[in-house]
Structure 1
Amino acid sequence: MLLKHTLYYFLSRGVPGIVSFLAIAVYTRLLEPGEFGIYSLVLTLVSFCNVVFYQWLRMVLGRNYPAHRDSPDEFLAGVGTLFLLTTAVAGVAVLVAALLTEDATMRQFAAIALAMLVAHAAFDLVLALARAMLKPGLYGLLLGSKSVLAFAAGALLALSGLGAAAPIWGLTVGYALAIVLFGRKLVASMRPGQVARADLSAYLRYGMPLTAAFALSWVISGSDRVILTWLLDEAATGIYASGYDLGFQILTLVLVVVNTAAYPLVVNALERKGEDAARRQLRQNGEAILSLALAGAACLVIIGSPLIELVLAVEYRDGAKSIFLLVVVSSALAGIKSYYFDIAFQLARATHWQVVSVGVAAAVNVVLNLLLIPRFGILGAAWATVAAYAAALIISVLTGRRQFGLMPALPSLLKSAIPISALAALGCWAMLGIAGDATVLALVLGLVGAAIGYLAGALLFNTFGIRSAIWSRLGERMKS
């Protein structure tokens, strides 16, 4: 089941992934580093508001929908009401912040940022419902259409000379049109209705700690850009963001695909089949996340230089290369923590413990950014991010299994993850060496080599049940 759903979500995430790389390549050529820095900063702040105001509601939807699957109308009506109330609060907060700030740039972008925030939040809620309903086809259609529409609109506006506002308006248009074209039925199912007081209390107890946790996670991933802009300038932020997004998004994309498929499966197993089924599903999830995180990080380090040469404009390349290794390590640490070990807190409904790990990491990140950026620039910001994610992962590993005892131990998962990663890295290195120059063909061959090495290791160790699934399918075909 995990393999099947992962393949569905991989296809659905493939188009957005390709579009994201194209967007980085196009925007770093159409925007100056300072403009790209402003765009990155606004995007970061909108993401923060999205987490603070809306993340809890998406998590409530994902965690509780399986229990209401047979009669979801009342539950979804409550979700719709909570979304509208949350949007009203978010709108007032953003407008007040814009009036109070002395930063002219932030005042200039306040209105568009608010429009993007609401469109982003609505789109994410529709996506969360499609995922909870186990509809990967619809999920992929929504995500793919949003990416293509946002990129097309943003690129056209950038060509017209709109500057930093172009990609922001592009994203806003993409979110809105994707909902109108493909998410209307899901929006209609969340037509506002009454929310029982007992349900609201339970949702808030579950969701509010997650809001704090995800907000603190934003501090780890986003505060570096704010501090870079404050201590240095927008150009430094733009160069840092180009290298960070290129390295972080690639590996995160792979891990998000697996988690998107895996989390609903383990929740359904726990709710409908009991602890033994959940334990088996968690082992498969852990094997997939750890092996892909380690293998992906190793292969990205190998192909990093030619990738940067091909994707980024000349003025961004040296800075991106200087931080790429650290960004990849940060991405692997963040993915393992968020998409596997933090699941324990959510399954146990003990989300307040998740706040502890990210709280410590956020403090580490901010302190190190303030200390290291003035001396080392963007390299200092990258080192601070590595240290923060490492601290968060350690705390999550130590506390997670205490809250949800079904989680397999880390050493048992690493027994297969490490050799599989080595085989993937070897395949990537060998094929890239054959190709030689930094070309699209070289990157494709490197990725093909990595995929072959990973698949060979997965089959050898039966990672996430892939060998068993293949033998089972072959057996069914032979019987028929």
Structure 2
Amino acid sequence: MSLRSSLAYFVFRGASGALAVLTVSVFARLLGPQGYAHWTLAVVLSGFIAGVLVQPIHSALARFLPRPGGEAIVGTLGRLLLVAASAVVVVALLLSAVAPSWLPGGVVILALSLGLSQAVFDFSAQHCSSTLQARRYGRLYLCKAIIALAAGGTALWCGLGAAGAVAGTCAGFLGATLVFGRTAWREVVRGRFDGAALPELRAYALPVMFALLTGAVLQWGDRLVLAANVAPGRLGAYSAAGDLAQQGFGLLFSAFHLAWFPRLVALWESNPAALQAQVNRYAQLSLVVMVPAALGFALVARDLASVLLGAAFSGDAAQVMPWLALAALLGGVRAYLFDLPLHLSQRMAVQSMIAGGCAVLGVSLNLLLVPHFGIVAAAAVAVLAQACGCIASYLVGRRTLSPKWASKDLLAVAAGAAAMALLVLVVPFGGVMGLGLKVLLGAIAYGTVVVAADTAGLRSLVLARIGLR
């Protein structure tokens, strides 16, 4: 897998991430903290009632489509997705009948709409990724981001509240699929249902379903505990801070994973001898992106809260942003690096146990601490739970396949991060100008160090591009 291919995903996901951050900013400013809390609960519930039932199908597509002869699986998985969508509707109706008093009315229906439209989009996106269509994948995400921002922002401007934000986001998912994601669904229509593949799919997908359920608890459980214990405005501020962290660099973390995972699956199936070198290269590139993204976010947290979210959010959001940035970094390391051997070897039951343990730990500590210490406790618990997941996943997965970094790469990334932090911290003013200057200086400092050290072959690539090599 070439560095150029990874950079293509990085550029597309970077642009999509920038638009997603802008969307969070627009939605937060137009909704306000209480309205954003309503939007957050719709997103959280969509992650539970749709993601848990639908995402295992997407994971199976990612795992089985890249292997030789895997094209035939698309029709089967597409039909299973339609069955899962029907189950989602039933679950949503049951949930709406037993919803607790602190859950706003109508939020389950909003979650259902959001979850089903995202399921359609994600199937197309996963198909593009698994078939190495990087440009189509990028266009799909960019189109979704543009439509969601325009439609959602317009609906909010017209005073439609959280329902308008959901409607705009659904329009983004479905519109982008219609424009750039038709190939996957065309293959579903033309393909056939292969019942013989069900035992293998079931053996892989059921543990994934449990893993996703526990992962959803780990990722979103704090929002539900906060909804029941703090004022909606504080939940909105906490959620906006977490969304900025996830949309700001969570998408970048997944970019390299999406670029490399199909090739790693193919090597696992056909050429295990070459696999370790490719995993090491993948880990090297991921490290180069993950560390500065998370550190930079934490360093400019107060400026980000003020500029992007506004005064109504800035106090609470800035307080938890550095913690949530660290939690997102640890979650990315676990999901995209240390869980990789478990996915390749299809040891999903083990991965589910790790995620389940972290989820139980996180929810238990949140139930104990949030009523007394509020959003700060939730942010600290997120860091602790993700750290435990990293350690457990690494210890288990290293017996199968373990990413390795050269000391030179680790030193170069550390030196670049230190240079970035030094320059960012010496900028004496904030606001839009201060934030822009900090981001620019930090990026220049980090980039200069890692390019000079030729980390991940960046210096060689730059010299080749300008004709000096």
Indicate the TM-score class for this superposition, using the shorter chain for normalisation. Answer: over 0.9
Q: 1:221 to 1:43 in 2, by over 3 A?
A: same
User: Quick one: which amino acid aligns to residue 177 of structure 1?
Assistant: G
Contact 1:239 1:319 in 2 (8 A): yes
Matches within 5 A, 1:259-408: 259-272=257-270, 274-402=271-399, 404-405=400-401, 407-408=402-403
Please report how far the alpha carbon of residue 360 of structure 1 lies from its aligned counterpart in structure 2 after TM superposition: 1.2
Aligned residue for 1:349, secondary structure, equals: coil
Instruction: Map Cα deviations across residues 148-199 of structure 1 (whole Å, 9 max, x no partner).
Output: 1111111111111111212111111111111112222321112275433441
Q: 1:244 to 1:270 in 2, by over 3 A?
A: same
Are 2:446 and 1:454 equivalent residues in the alignment?
Answer: yes
User: Quick one: which amino acid aligns to residue 321 of structure 1?
Assistant: A
Please report how far the alpha carbon of residue 437 of structure 1 lies from its aligned counterpart in structure 2 after TM superposition: 2.2
Cα separation, 1, equivalents of 2:66 and 2:100: 46
Cα separation, 2, equivalents of 1:85 and 1:413: 47
Cα separation, 1, equivalents of 2:311 and 2:295: 25
Matches within 5 A, 1:75-114: 75-103=73-101, 105-114=103-112
2:423 corresponds in structure 1 to 430
Q: 1:176 aligns with which of 162, 174, 191?
A: 174
2:127 corresponds in structure 1 to 129
Please report how far the alpha carbon of residue 415 of structure 1 lies from its aligned counterpart in structure 2 after TM superposition: 5.5
- Relative to structure 2, which stretch is displaced further, 3-12 or 117-126? 3-12
Contact 2:301 2:321 in 1 (8 A): yes
TM-score (ref. length: structure 2): 0.93
Please report how far the alpha carbon of residue 68 of structure 1 lies from its aligned counterpart in structure 2 after TM superposition: 4.2
Please report how far the alpha carbon of residue 322 of structure 1 lies from its aligned counterpart in structure 2 after TM superposition: 1.1
Cα separation, 2, equivalents of 1:473 and 1:461: 17
User: Quick one: which amino acid aligns to residue 430 of structure 2?
Assistant: A
Q: 1:83 to 1:235 in 2, by over 3 A?
A: same
Instruction: Map Cα deviations across residues 372-423 of structure 1 (whole Å, 9 max, x no partner).
Output: 1111110011111111001111100100112x23x234xx456623541331
2:66 corresponds in structure 1 to 66
Please report how far the alpha carbon of residue 225 of structure 1 lies from its aligned counterpart in structure 2 after TM superposition: 0.7
User: Quick one: which amino acid aligns to residue 359 of structure 1?
Assistant: G
Contact 2:264 2:279 in 1 (8 A): yes
Please report how far the alpha carbon of residue 89 of structure 1 lies from its aligned counterpart in structure 2 after TM superposition: 1.3
Where structure 2 has 5 or more consecutive residues not aligned to the other structure, the ranges are: none
Please report how far the alpha carbon of residue 63 of structure 1 lies from its aligned counterpart in structure 2 after TM superposition: 1.2
Cα separation, 2, equivalents of 1:145 and 1:308: 26
User: Quick one: which amino acid aligns to residue 448 of structure 1?
Assistant: L
Are 2:49 and 1:52 equivalent residues in the alignment?
Answer: no
Cα separation, 2, equivalents of 1:306 and 1:335: 24
TM-score (ref. length: structure 1): 0.91
Cα separation, 2, equivalents of 1:40 and 1:263: 30
User: Quick one: which amino acid aligns to residue 417 of structure 1?
Assistant: L
User: Quick one: which amino acid aligns to residue 345 of structure 2?
Assistant: A
Contact 1:52 1:215 in 2 (8 A): yes
Aligned residue for 1:408, secondary structure, equals: coil
1:416 corresponds in structure 2 to 409
Please report how far the alpha carbon of residue 443 of structure 1 lies from its aligned counterpart in structure 2 after TM superposition: 3.0
Cα separation, 1, equivalents of 2:63 and 2:294: 30
Q: State, as a whole percentage, how many aligned pairs show the same letter.
A: 27
Cα separation, 1, equivalents of 2:35 and 2:434: 31
**Matched positions, count:** 469
Cα separation, 1, equivalents of 2:293 and 2:102: 41
Q: 1:426 to 1:67 in 2, by over 3 A?
A: same
Are 2:256 and 1:237 equivalent residues in the alignment?
Answer: no
Q: 1:446 to 1:261 in 2, by over 3 A?
A: farther
Q: CA RMSD in A?
A: 2.3
Q: 1:443 aligns with which of 435, 447, 457?
A: 435
Contact 1:152 1:170 in 2 (8 A): yes
Contact 1:79 1:192 in 2 (8 A): no
Contact 2:296 2:442 in 1 (8 A): yes
Cα separation, 2, equivalents of 1:373 and 1:129: 40
Cα separation, 2, equivalents of 1:108 and 1:173: 19
Aligned residue for 2:398, secondary structure, equals: helix
Contact 2:423 2:442 in 1 (8 A): no
1:146 corresponds in structure 2 to 144
Instruction: Map Cα deviations across residues 238-281 of structure 1 (whole Å, 9 max, x no partner).
Output: 01111222233323122122222122232233334x12321111
Are 2:18 and 1:23 equivalent residues in the alignment?
Answer: no
- Relative to structure 2, which stretch is displaced further, 106-115 or 258-267? 106-115
Contact 2:46 2:111 in 1 (8 A): yes
Instruction: Map Cα deviations across residues 296-316 of structure 1 (whole Å, 9 max, x no partner).
Output: 222222222222221111011
Q: 1:261 to 1:458 in 2, by over 3 A?
A: farther
1:204 corresponds in structure 2 to 202
